[in-house]
Structure 1
């Protein structure tokens, strides 16, 4: 029987307001009490890695631009099916979407799924004005249920009393948390965002997050707010499971299929590069591959190329491990030979960079890479591309013809051979060169564009089967 899932979306007035900390703190607190299904609004690999570590089950992305509203509903319903509560972390400010629209905003996702919103407000340096800020967010779009407020960077108990009283005098929205400025938890970051959860830079941060929630948030009131989720037709069906995540070995049942057990063996095998250099993968995309292929997870940093009918190199941080990757000349040659033999290979961003001929670091040192794609990449100090992408796709062995939406985010430039061939003509975004992306060689495709969680893997699967024959 279908059920409407208790859920809350944690949004902020703007980026940097503390919503990631609040969302993860609530996940940690609820995870001690019940089964929590975590989600992240927008394109993001890093925050979901922390969600997964905290909740013990895969965090899913919800993006109305890349996936479309119906696929967002389907993903949410499927992942929420066996949970007791869902916690969704927003992106940027509540109403910040593409351009001046709300498309792909946290508000858009809240509207599509009927989610109550808890707004995180930075109250440093304000008192009664905080009520005006909250009122503006409550009134801006009557379709959005701002059902609670959490105050961050509260200067003192007296300051908290002033802000809370001002809000309560003007609005019916409850204040369900007050976090002192002294309670700020630092999560170290670098050029692409926070460190990934698997990197283990902080062993105690989950305990600190849980303590923050227990000490400064009204857990019972927030749980009550979660019951306000409206039925918008996506109600979660009983059954199914989202336990497990794309980590490092946490979903391998020992048979090399990496499926957590119970999966049907398939007629093709796809090798997925997964280690600290290649760690950006959407769980929904991995699940799509697993429906039609056996997956073997392996490390270009440590392993020889496994036997497989196709290979997938996700994004990540090859620039941080360029020396180690380059030193593994046997692995690089095996990849090059497999590509020349027509094995289908797909690389995204960092994966694409590794498949090129060389990578030049910030000091000007050039390191040989796999040498499949006719191009070389140079790292830069400046951000080269950031945002959503849309491309028209021509014939290739990986992506079906038509249109593909995704996103790009990188600090590098790739220079291609004059006769380089491309599969993507960019309608939105930068791509590799001259409005083109999707560099082609043999049956290999590499792009700066990251495919969406809802990526259609049928063409890739078909190409792998053809190569087997």
Structure 2
């Protein structure tokens, strides 16, 4: 499958809108699109899925490793893969859009804010192209999409200023209908605030689809697309059943995680917000999301209370970030409201006005835990606006090699047969395989 990376000169330049417009342009031209996202993200991929109609792949060398990055790319399908970058093209200490493009050998289409420039837009693109050469990075910037560029003289001035080696792929016209609302964890989810279809059609019509397809290329490195860390998962006559919370409060999970569960277990879903009963299962996965936005519904539904009872009776629960919040004793909002949560973990959580952690993380297991064996390391990422106060005798599965964790030095709060962590992990980390192995014992 051919692919290209839509990178940006900085955060906030309009990569998501440009990426969606490129996807729509390919779709309208009759090509099947596989969306993907460089770096850790759950929100941008939700917009990809609305437009492309298929889940977006996660491509992050820190979360997945180099083999896992290639594996996740190759497990996609379609005529062309459109990869949205993260932050600015070269930004990121342990993972960047540039590193993803370089690892896969994909060309970069650079999104440049053209709202107040013409020749300077071209100069910016030339600088980004030459920076790779100056720093010895194998990154191929092949051209630009001019974000917020007007037609006529504005557009022609940008096009004429570009050197021949850089292609002008088109523009994204300035339009309030192409703005996506945001909140403290980023943009609104795609199902909540889908971008105007008419505005997206207009933007797609300003792009040169055939030039984009000609620029796209296949990854240079071949690799078996079968799952990693458990390349040949043991199939048992009776597989464990995993219940996954899936609703507006618990919506931050990677499609690859669901794929791994389906490969190695029976998967059922339930909605704590809607008051679904906890399914008959061998273990529960509570992904991240927005439990603070739906705290009243979660309390009134009774599902968390039932989950707490089940966990105290031995049912394993694995919660990430928002899942950790839901597993705690209580949640206090920035408005001062306090809500009783599941009461599985010896912690009380408070929402804050500013984010408390934003980083790629690495955890080392200090004892055997539901998601890792002693001394094993797990890589993930964290981004949260809450902080947890834990009991003095609380037990932790991990020390934080990199990242903030729960206490700064520890993460993976343990209680009964359950674990809650601020780290989001990808299945390539091995954490979900370890969880499934323990459920099958």
- In the superposition, the TM-score normalised over structure 1's length comes to 0.86
Question: What is the rounded CA distance, in whole Å, between the counterparts of 1:210 and 1:453 in structure 2?
Answer: 35
Post-superposition Cα deviations, 1:53-83, rounded to whole Å, max 9, x if no partner, equal 2112111110011111111011111214xx1
The correspondence for 1:36, drawn from 33, 36, 42, is 33
Q: Secondary structure at the match of 1:125?
A: coil
Cα 1:181/1:465, change in 2 over 3 Å: same
Q: Which residue of 2 aligns with 1:186?
A: 179
Q: 1:47 to 1:403 in 2, by over 3 A?
A: same
2:230 alignment partner in structure 1? none
Measure how far apart 1:208 and its partner are: 2.5
Q: Which moved more, 1:370-379 or 1:27-36?
A: 27-36
**Greater Cα offset, 171-180 or 381-390:** 171-180
Q: What CA distance in whole angstroms lies between the structure 2 residues aligned with 1:301 and 1:134?
A: 47
**Equivalent-residue separation in structure 1 for 2:63 and 2:3 (angstroms):** 22
User: Does residue 415 of the first structure (1) align with residue 389 of the second (2)?
Assistant: yes
Which residue of structure 2 aligns with residue 323 of structure 1? 296
Aligned to 1:338: 310
Aligned structure 1 segments of 4 or more residues deviating by more than 6 angstroms: none
What's the CA shift for 1:351? Answer: 0.5
Q: Distance in 2 between matches of 1:21 and 1:74?
A: 27
Matched residues in 2 for 1:443 and 1:288: separation?
A: 21
1:8 positional shift: 1.2
The DSSP-based 3-state class of the residue aligned with 1:312 is strand
Do the aligned partners of 1:183 and 1:212 also contact (CA within 8 Å) in 2? no
The separation in 2 between residues aligned to 1:299 and 1:382, in whole angstroms, is 28
Aligned to 1:443: 417
Partners of 2:333 and 2:143 lie apart in 1 by: 47
Q: Please state if 1:225 is matched with 2:215.
A: yes
Q: Which residue of 2 aligns with 1:154?
A: 149
Check 1:291–1:179 CA distance in 2 against 1; reply closer, same or farther (3 A cut).
closer
When the two chains are superposed, the root-mean-square deviation of aligned CA atoms in Å is: 2.0
List alignment gaps of at least 5 residues for structure 1: 241-262
Partner of 1:255: none
**Counterpart contact for 1:164–1:175, Cα < 8 Å:** yes
State the TM-score, normalizing by the size of structure 2.
0.92
Match of 2:86 among 85, 91, 107: 91
Deviation of the 1:156 alpha carbon: 5.0
Q: Find the aligned partners of 2:109 and 2:171 in 1 and give their Cα distance.
A: 13
Q: Distance in 1 between matches of 2:179 and 2:153?
A: 25
Give CA-to-partner distance per residue, 1:190-246, whole Å, 9 cap, x none.
Answer: 1111111223x34x62342132111x11112111111xx255222798xx9xxxxxx
Give the unaligned 5+ runs of structure 2.
227-234
Query: CA offset at residue 337 of structure 1?
Result: 2.0
Distance between the aligned counterparts of 2:76 and 2:189, measured in 1?
22
**How many residues are matched?**
424
Match of residue 370, structure 1, among 342, 345, 353: 342
